[in-house]
């Protein structure tokens, strides 16, 4: 089961990476259109940017940012301040690590719950993006999944007892 969770979290991060690629591509096209518009203006012409660029990037960044959190936790890549803790006995460090893993798992589930509430409210309100008119509620789903995966990896690390550092 732990191996399957690790694979799912890695795949989820790759899913986020696809959004990064899409953001880079769309941004490159939009900036190129802006530059082309400057050149075209010299000759009395215009080149339009991508309509809805801001809508897409705003939604895609939210998916991307959250999709990496479980992977970062899996690799213990979060910022850790060990100034006080490094001089404490190993048992105390292990206890603190377990405490923070449990706290982080609880926080991630708390965030997942409220994102789920937000998803449902956005769906009920029929909230749409300003330019493209896309429904916003589906973009909450990956965030909910990310928070649940984050909680699961914290619980896995808690059970396996792999201390940080």
On the question of pLDDT at 118 being above 70, the answer is yes
Lowest mean pLDDT among 2-11, 45-54, 99-108, 134-143: 45-54
* Residue 119 placed within a domain: yes
* Residue 145 placed within a domain: yes
Give the pLDDT confidence of 48-98 residue by residue, as tens digits: 888 999 999 999 999 999 999 999 999 988 766 667 777 889 898 889 889
Q: How many domains does the chain have?
A: 1
* Residue 123 placed within a domain: yes
**What's the rounded mean pLDDT across residues 92-113?**
94
* Residue 90 placed within a domain: yes
What pLDDT does 165 receive? 52
* Residue 47 placed within a domain: yes
* Residue 89 placed within a domain: yes
**What's the rounded mean pLDDT across residues 10-25?**
97
Compute CA distances 64 → 26, 123, 125, 132, whole Å. Answer: 15, 21, 24, 20
Model pTM score: 0.88
* Residue 165 placed within a domain: no
On the question of pLDDT at 121 being above 80, the answer is yes
Dist. CA 58–CA 51, nearest whole Å: 13
Residue 113's domain spans which residues? 2-160
* Residue 10 placed within a domain: yes
What pLDDT does 130 receive? 94
């Amino acid at each position: 089961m732990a191996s399957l969770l690790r694979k799912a979290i890695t795949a989820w991060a790759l899913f986020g990476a696809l959004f990064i690629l899409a953001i880079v591509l769309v941004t490159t096209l939009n900036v190129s259109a802006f530059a082309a518009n400057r050149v075209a203006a010299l000759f009395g012409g215009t080149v339009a940017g991508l309509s809805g660029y801001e809508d897409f990037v705003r939604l895609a960044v939210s998916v991307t940012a959250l999709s990496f959190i479980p992977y970062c936790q899996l690799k213990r890549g979060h910022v850790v301040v060990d100034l006080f803790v490094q001089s404490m006995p190993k048992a105390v460090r292990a206890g603190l690590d377990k405490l923070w893993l449990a706290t982080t798992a609880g926080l991630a589930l708390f965030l997942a719950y409220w994102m789920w509430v937000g998803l449902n409210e956005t769906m009920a309100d029929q909230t749409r993006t300003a330019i493209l008119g896309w429904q916003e509620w589906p973009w909450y789903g990956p965030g909910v999944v990310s928070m649940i995966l984050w909680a699961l990896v914290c619980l896995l690390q808690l059970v396996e007892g792999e201390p940080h550092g």
